[in-house]
Chains A and B, each alone.
Chain A
Amino acid sequence: MAANGEGNGGGRGAAGGTTEARGLRGVVANVIAWLDDRVGFSALKPLIKKKEVPIHKHSFWYYIGGMALFLFLLQVATGIMLLIYYRPSAEGAFESVQFLMSDVRFGWLIRSIHSWGANLMIFMAFVHLFSVMLMKAYRKPRELTWMTGVGLLFAALFLGFTGYLLPWNTLAFFATRVGTEIPGVLPVVGPFFREILRGGDDVSGATLTRFFAFHVSFLPAVAFGLIGIHVLLVQKHGMSVPPSVEAQGGAKRSIKFFPQFLMRDLVGWLAAMAMLAAVAAFWPAHLGVKADPFAAAPAGIRPEWYFMFMFQTLKLLPAEILGIEGELVGIGAFGIAGVILFLVPFLDRPKPGAKPGKLWTYLTYGAMVYIIVLTWWGYAASPTN
């Protein structure tokens, strides 16, 4: 309610448009000039002005990357706030989250936005990945942009995996136990990997502090670095135009990135924020029951939805394939798929002058169908089978 009143006040000031406002504008201009004198950011102006966004029938997909970036920043903001009340220990984690949800004003909101925002961010990262793949935006000279992007997707997935455990509830505990078991089947290095992940033989308080450190310092730092390179490269190369548009002689027109495209971005970001707020108000993030390492695993242990297709694949594989452990084959296949994904720009290189092949487009559609079907299957399958 207070916000409402203040809003009107602000509106009056802006609507007045009197000398007072002009005076304020003058002050702002002075401050900017003063800063520019010392920092020299007016050098950036041509860079910002230069950037244009081509408009064509696939332009919509240009917004997705920005959306993912916005959601990442929202995660950082809410994550920092959650740190104020969160305590990373097996004894205190669950209780601190419970306290956050029940007693801290708007604690439910911050946590719910963080939790739902993470899901939305990863979803957007996937959409971004596939749209870029289908538009073949990874072609020379954008190989590094692609590779940093894939790195960011992995960082986001790992952020999701580590963050899931932090409330220390039963479901997260057992999902993490299953999740950290998977690399353990790798020959030779498996047990070592598992121990590194878990910080011991089994998931315990040591795992929690480890995951916490990964989640709040290491991974965000990596993500920031990669985002920096990624965005800088996008800025340098400009927007890629898909081959189909290129074939028709390129985009008919373009708009300035600033402010035209950014304003369109903002509309999307606001919509995402409103949606997250609504989801948080109607379906606050669950807390569940405190993890008890000695309890029997509850039925229906599931990973987060973005791991579901891998989880389901491993479940469906037979115990042994060609004399090798089925799970090992599955993990190997996903590992190879990851490497291939990383190297797409180098694998999809048609001979100069030749028409780009359709193979990678089909592969992309295949991967999308596979992920959607397996995810659906994972949720539809009875947890007891």
Chain B
Amino acid sequence: MSETAREERSGGLTRKRFIDWLLGTSLGGFVLAVIYPVVRYWVPPVVAESAVSSVTLPFKATDVADNTGRIFKFGSKPGILIKTPSGELRAFNATCTHLSCTVQFRADIENIWCACHNGHYDLNGRNISGPPPRPLDSYNVNVRGDQIIVSVKT
């Protein structure tokens, strides 16, 4: 009787130790498996956030010279910001209304120009020559301090 009891007890002891080991190990693993994603989540991502419907452009107002244009990301569409020779900022949807190429600013002719089929738009986004059937959609441009904020016209 006492022997079986001792056996039981010693068997119980090893089992208890095994269970404790199992609990400790898996608890450690579990905690790490929870903490790892949480820590990674708190680490700011490499890509800075960009918002849309109004976007704050990734460059400063002072960085845009007169009579130049720059492409920016406006949601899922490219936009073009131009600064007219007189220093006014304007923004348009940069998708050419002809065959959806991306337009660019041409300082030499002071026009927005599509390289694909030589479509020209004036500084108000109106199609003035070449195949584009429609003017470019225009956006609102606001400057707050150094930030350029482009938003959809409502």
Instruction: Note whether A and B form a binding pair.
Output: yes
User: Residues of A at under 8 Å CB distance from B?
Assistant: 2-4, 6-11, 13-15, 17, 81, 84-85, 87, 91-92, 95-96, 99, 103-107, 109-110, 270, 290
Q: How far is the CA of A330 from the CA of B51 in the complex (A)?
A: 42
Whether B28 contacts A81 by the Cβ 8 Å rule is no
CA distance A191 to B55 in the complex (A): 35
When distances are taken between beta carbons in the complex, the residues of chain A under 8 Å from B17 are 17
Complex-state Cα separation, A17 to B16, whole angstroms:
13
A-B contact count (CB 8 A): 83
CB-CB under 8 A from A96, the residues of chain B are: 49, 51
The answer to whether B41 touches A10, judged by C-beta atoms less than 8 angstroms apart, is no
CA distance A13 to B25 in the complex (A): 9
Q: Mark B41-70, 1 if CB is under 8 A from A, else 0.
A: 111011101111110000000000000000
| Complexed CA–CA distance, A290 and B28 (Å) | 41
Return the contact of A81 from the options B27, B41, B52, B53 (Cβ within 8 A): B41
Bound: A6/B28 CA distance, A: 8
Number of interface residues of B (CB under 8 A): 28
Within 8 Å CB of A8, what residues of B? 25
Q: Shortest distance in angstroms between A356's beta carbon and chain B's nearest beta carbon?
A: 43
Do B52 and A10 touch (CB < 8 A)?
no
Binds A, one of B32-40, B78-86, B101-109, B129-137: B32-40
A99–B25 touching, CB < 8 Å: no
A166 to B99, CA, bound (A): 37
- The reply to whether B32 and A6 form a contact with Cβ atoms under 8 Å apart is yes
Docked CA distance A2–B26 (Å): 14
A370 to B131, CA, bound (A): 63
Contacts beyond the supplied A10-B32, A103-B47: 7 A-B pairs with Cβ under 8 Å: A3-B29, A7-B28, A14-B25, A92-B51, A95-B49, A99-B51, A105-B41
Query: B77 to chain A: closest CB distance in Å?
Result: 13
Greatest chain A CB density within 10 A among B21, B28, B30, B33 is at B28
Name the residue on B nearest A105 (C-beta): B40
Task: Please give the distance in Å from B131's CB to the nearest CB on chain A.
Answer: 31
Q: A106-B41, A107-B41 are in contact. Are A99 and B24 (CB under 8 A)?
A: no
B21 near A103 with CB under 8 A, answer no
The 30 listed contacts between A and B (C-beta, < 8 Å) are A2-B32, A3-B32, A3-B33, A3-B36, A6-B28, A6-B29, A7-B29, A7-B33, A10-B28, A10-B32, A11-B21, A11-B28, A14-B28, A84-B42, A85-B49, A91-B51, A92-B51, A95-B51, A95-B52, A99-B49, A103-B45, A103-B47, A104-B45, A105-B40, A105-B43, A106-B38, A107-B41, A109-B37, A110-B37, A290-B53
Q: Which residues of B contact A10 (CB under 8 A)?
A: 24-25, 27-29, 32
CB-contact partner of A91 in B37, B43, B53, under 8 A: B53
Residues in A whose Cβ lies below 8 Å from that of B54: 91
